[in-house]
């Protein structure tokens, strides 16, 4: 590779990593991502083993999450957990307040690795640049979770297979499985690859080294060399049961009103990748496009994961992250016009705007502590974060079981609570955005929210993608909303904290907004 090309690639890699660690402490140390919070708790409590034999002892290893009563249900891969723990110990950051930062940096590093792989596959700079500035990978790189690790190892497995490095690709695929067992979804693509090359010996090598790698980096999935751990198997079965939409499990209510395949595709196009790149195929004559077998396999993987995962009970955006580098690989072949690339970059930097000021829940907490008297009674919704986050004034907080099934006892209790509550606080759209979409299942809850939203909130804190422009006198919001009783695609707000131009992403999937930029609404309870 020429020195000039090395410098350009290095600049793109540095850009990708810089964007991924921008606003690294985006929640101000409040651990506002629930999955990350759980992984941080586990990583803080587990301990490094004293020997290799202890490391592989499922029953006695202090590194095994299942050895600790609070973490009997552990379905994540252990490689990201172990690596984060090891580096946290080495750098003296092995505590709950700092360990997640180590995990976030690693998440950013591994996702940045996809930029390099894209260059190795295409020998061009367009695909790496486009992936470096694609929104969903940017967002998930800010979280200490396993999705970015998984995607990197799946994509690296694919690249190594194209280079006929079968042993190394097997080791890497084992690491993918040790990040998340759903890496198995990539098996059909691997199967097609080996069918195409018709080499049984190399297939055996691949399978052997895949098992070896998985056995080393997910050791507690086994009780002996080959015997699966029943606790691990049961945890996976329990997880599968939790994904079935049910009014008894609040996070699954949102899926009852969504259209399979269409909704995840909509989120990929509008939010995960962005409209500009999806317009690029319209600027190319199809007859000029000839796909290589690498691109054909990529396209098969994209379609397979979209159809398979998109027809499962849960199809949250992060489950589709493993198709993003492949999707960028395909879209870059359409050579988007420069104007579309400019809009793609604008969308990227608009999204990064959410990390340029305090988290909306942090803003709301500050406002509550500064403006409400300490004898005020506040509400919070079950299955959501209570505000204020620090509660330095010791507010009395009552939890409304708002996401529970609509039975008379539920509303007898809530109505009784409302007689004492001074301020109703909705710290995200978790409850109201999902229950009002299924009014037949939640008639009373829907009626409650309709009544609540018929009035104007006392104050609203949001953090939409966009650009803060201090010389503006107001916030200008563009895009649809899912707020009850509100219509229109444009809103002007003269009372906002950060004047500028913003894109409303209210209709995006819940997880896209609720962790790092939820809408917080505070209503004064007008008691009769």
Q: Which two tokens stand for residue 252?
A: 């699954």
- pLDDT by residue (tens digit) across 274-289? 999 999 888 765 446 6
- pLDDT by residue (tens digit) across 152-168? 999 999 999 999 999 99
Mean pLDDT (the chain) is 94
Q: Which two tokens stand for residue 451?
A: 């009544």
Q: Which of 21-30, 137-146, 248-257, 371-380 has the lowest mean pLDDT?
A: 248-257
Q: Which of helix, strand or coil describes residue 436?
A: coil
Helices (H), 218-334: 230-242, 262-267, 275-279, 293-309, 324-332
% of the chain exceeding 90 in pLDDT:
86
Strand order in the sheet with 459-461: 396-400, 377-381, 423-426, 520-524, 459-461
Give the separation between CA 259 and CA 274, rounded to whole angstroms: 20
Q: What confidence score (pLDDT) does residue 334 get? A: 87
**Contact predicate 174/213, CB 8 Å:** yes
Q: Is 403 exposed, middle or buried (0-12, 13-18, 19+ CB in 10 A)?
A: buried
Among candidate residues 478, 474, 476, 481, the one with its CA nearest the CA of residue 495 = 474
Give the separation between CA 174 and CA 132, rounded to whole angstroms: 26
Is the pLDDT reported for residue 395 higher than 90?
A: yes
Grade residue 238 by pLDDT with cuts at 50, 70 and 90.
confident
Cα 5 to its chain centre, rounded Å, is 33
**Contact predicate 131/16, CB 8 Å:** yes
Give the separation between CA 492 and CA 494, rounded to whole angstroms: 7
Q: What confidence score (pLDDT) does residue 528 get? A: 63
% of the chain exceeding 70 in pLDDT:
99
What's the mean pLDDT in 190-208?
89
**DSSP H or E run through 5:** helix 3-21
Q: What confidence score (pLDDT) does residue 289 get? A: 66
Cα 209 to its chain centre, rounded Å, is 30
**Contact predicate 165/155, CB 8 Å:** no
Characterize the bridge pairing of strands 377-381 and 500-503: unpaired
What's the mean pLDDT in 98-103?
98
Is the pLDDT reported for residue 245 higher than 80?
A: no
Q: Which of 1-5, 26-30, 415-419, 433-437 has the lowest mean pLDDT?
A: 1-5
Give the separation between CA 508 and CA 263, rounded to whole angstroms: 9
Q: What confidence score (pLDDT) does residue 284 get? A: 67
Is the pLDDT reported for residue 84 higher than 80?
A: yes
- pLDDT by residue (tens digit) across 288-323? 667 888 999 999 999 999 999 999 999 999 999 999
Is the pLDDT reported for residue 220 higher than 90?
A: yes
Q: Which two tokens stand for residue 167?
A: 């042993």
- pLDDT by residue (tens digit) across 470-499? 999 999 999 999 998 888 899 999 989 899
Q: What confidence score (pLDDT) does residue 82 get? A: 98
Q: What confidence score (pLDDT) does residue 255 get? A: 93
Q: Which of helix, strand or coil describes residue 1?
A: coil
**Contact predicate 74/14, CB 8 Å:** no
Q: What confidence score (pLDDT) does residue 244 get? A: 76
Backbone angles phi, psi at 426, to 5 degrees: -110, 105
Q: Is the peptide bond between 235 and the residue preceding it cis, with omega within 30 degrees of 0?
A: no
pTM of the model: 0.96
Is the pLDDT reported for residue 144 higher than 80?
A: yes
Neighbours of 241 (CB within 10 A): 10
Q: Which two tokens stand for residue 191?
A: 């199967």
Give the separation between CA 76 and CA 90, rounded to whole angstroms: 23
Among candidate residues 520, 491, 305, the one with its CA nearest the CA of residue 423 = 520
Among candidate residues 359, 494, 379, 504, the one with its CA nearest the CA of residue 433 = 504
Give the separation between CA 348 and CA 136, rounded to whole angstroms: 10
Is the pLDDT reported for residue 83 higher than 90?
A: yes
């Amino acid at each position: 590779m020429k020195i000039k090309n090395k410098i350009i690639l290095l600049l793109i890699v540095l850009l990708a990593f810089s964007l991924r660690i921008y606003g690294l402490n985006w929640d101000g140390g409040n651990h506002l991502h629930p999955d990350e919070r759980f992984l941080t708790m586990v990583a803080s409590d587990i301990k490094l083993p004293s020997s290799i034999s202890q490391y592989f002892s499922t029953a006695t290893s202090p590194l095994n999450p299942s050895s600790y009563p609070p973490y009997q249900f552990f379905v994540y891969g252990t490689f990201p957990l172990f690596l984060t723990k090891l580096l946290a110990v080495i750098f003296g950051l092995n505590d709950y307040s700092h360990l997640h930062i180590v995990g976030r940096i690693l998440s950013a590093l591994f996702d940045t690795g996809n930029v390099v792989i894209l260059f190795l596959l295409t020998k061009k700079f367009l695909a790496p640049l486009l992936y470096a500035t694609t929104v969903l990978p940017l967002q998930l790189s800010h979280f200490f979770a396993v999705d970015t690790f998984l995607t990197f190892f799946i994509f690296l497995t694919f690249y190594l297979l194209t280079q006929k490095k079968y042993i190394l690709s097997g080791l890497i695929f084992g690491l993918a499985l040790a990040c998340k067992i759903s890496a198995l979804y990539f098996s059909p693509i691997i199967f097609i690859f080996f069918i195409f090359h018709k080499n049984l010996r190399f297939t055996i090598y691949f399978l052997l080294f895949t098992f070896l790698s998985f056995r080393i980096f997910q050791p507690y999935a086994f009780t002996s060399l080959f015997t699966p751990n029943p606790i691990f198997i049961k945890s996976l079965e329990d997880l599968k049961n939790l994904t079935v939409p049910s009014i008894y499990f609040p996070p699954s209510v949102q899926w009852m009103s969504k259209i399979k395949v269409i909704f995840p595709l909509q989120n990929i196009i509008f939010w995960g990748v962005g409209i500009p790149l999806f317009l690029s195929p319209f600027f190319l004559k199809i007859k000029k496009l000839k796909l290589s077998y690498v691109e054909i396999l990529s396209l098969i993987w994209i379609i397979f994961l979209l159809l398979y995962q998109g027809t499962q009970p849960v199809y949250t955006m992060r489950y589709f992250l493993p198709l993003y580098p492949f999707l960028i690989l395909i879209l870059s072949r359409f050579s988007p016009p420069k104007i579309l690339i400019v809009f793609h970059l604008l969308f990227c930097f608009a999204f990064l705007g959410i990390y340029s000021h305090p988290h909306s829940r942090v803003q709301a907490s500050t406002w509550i502590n500064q403006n409400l008297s300490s004898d005020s009674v506040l509400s919070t919704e079950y299955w959501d974060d209570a505000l204020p986050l620090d509660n330095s004034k010791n507010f009395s907080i009552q939890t409304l079981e708002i996401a529970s099934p609509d039975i008379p006892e539920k509303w007898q209790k809530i109505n009784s609570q409302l007689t004492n509550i001074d301020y109703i606080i909705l710290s995200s759209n978790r409850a109201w955005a999902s229950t009002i979409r299924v009014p037949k299942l939640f008639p009373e809850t829907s009626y409650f929210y309709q009544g609540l939203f018929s009035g104007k909130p006392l104050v609203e804190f949001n953090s939409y993608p966009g650009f803060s422009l201090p010389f503006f006198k107001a916030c200008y919001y563009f895009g649809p909303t899912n707020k009850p009783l509100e219509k229109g695609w444009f809103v002007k707000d003269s009372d906002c904290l950060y004047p500028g131009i913003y894109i409303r992403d209210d209709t995006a999937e819940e997880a896209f907004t609720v962790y790092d930029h939820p809408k917080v609404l505070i209503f004064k309870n007008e008691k009769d």
